Structure 1
């Protein structure tokens, strides 16, 4: 049923069309009309009202109607744009996830290929050397026996200054690198086989300074060292720290030395070293 103001207009229109009818008779006439007829009567009544208005009033009324319709269309367009934007953001999120997964897959594949190449190179080198020396090739086992030799020891070529949070210590001089698993460019040892390994690190602080380092495997700290030279008295002002750890590692695990948090900014090259070796293969 139309709103109350519509009923009032209809009553007015019916009184005009059917003069002399009582209120009860008018209500009965309205209740007998269907919605289409009511809508038609509303339009006619609106036209009659416009005809009775002054020209300026009609223009103002039509402008109001035009602005309301325009505002409705703009709201619909804005809603459509918001829906499209939400769909685009969802597609972009799925695309970012896909790119991230693809990048990880590619990186993992490259890293595994590099590890396999290193392992194959080590095995080929050992086999070739043993063949030339007529030495029987024997593999290490968990129960003991001979082993493929894997060991390294690296030092610093110069004092290391301006170290920061978790900075890697650049051990760039390999004194021993049996098996070739230590990279002097990256200062990282990559485990060539599954096994039990021993890692050691010695550090020397600068004069009247301190430094704290840590051995890490795949970014996880496994051992810490601390050295602090005396700042007063008749001492020489230097100090050395040392630590070692025995750990089970898997093929491809990476081991290096870095600054523990922000503890110290410099390292003396004398008396500082990073070493490790394979105990046995698992």
Structure 2
């Protein structure tokens, strides 16, 4: 009867698998809490005063509004973009002009979609992020093995995942009915919030959290620019979960072919072979 707070990537897919299997699960990512703190600092208010119109899937989200005082508060996003657009764009590694044209703040993961050729060129000049993280963790574990260490290693800041501890404690407190913020950004069932997705799709939005779980809150109507990509990636996530649960080369291939960053059978075939070669015990059976 325990609650499972899921940090494991891909959060949306894993959370959906847990929920479909009957577990009491809520997914959690640190993107929203990071934006909340950055915007609060720029507005010179406390993080608790900032409410985000945060909409999408895990690692595929947009801040459609930044409101002071709650869901019905004044939208400060136009002011933030006008006065701090350069800072925001730099953090996203996107051109200021593009952020202004979008009129919203995309997650920094959207750069993989909006500038994928540029990202690929960059990745070909250095180790993958996974290799970088593995090297950092090896070094961090060696540091933590020193009994004399009595402060947080500076290297940890480069690892990513800032504010996860605060978000996790806040969410756990709410789920256990012992305090915590009443409204938090989580990954949970859609339940009709995004009408173009199935009710049992897992989305990442503001939700009211209490001892009964997370209830997603209504969101502004989405522009087709956002809704189309969300629908496309949700189709991939459906197929990826099916491949993970049931295995089989064809299921793996179809999931990869459905992903908007792949979408060509030549790439999907090659990636299928590599995935099965490295994960045969999980994916090769039919």
Report the TM-score when normalising by structure 2: 0.20
| Higher relative helix content | 2
| Higher relative strand content | 1
Please say which structure displays the higher CA radius of gyration.
1
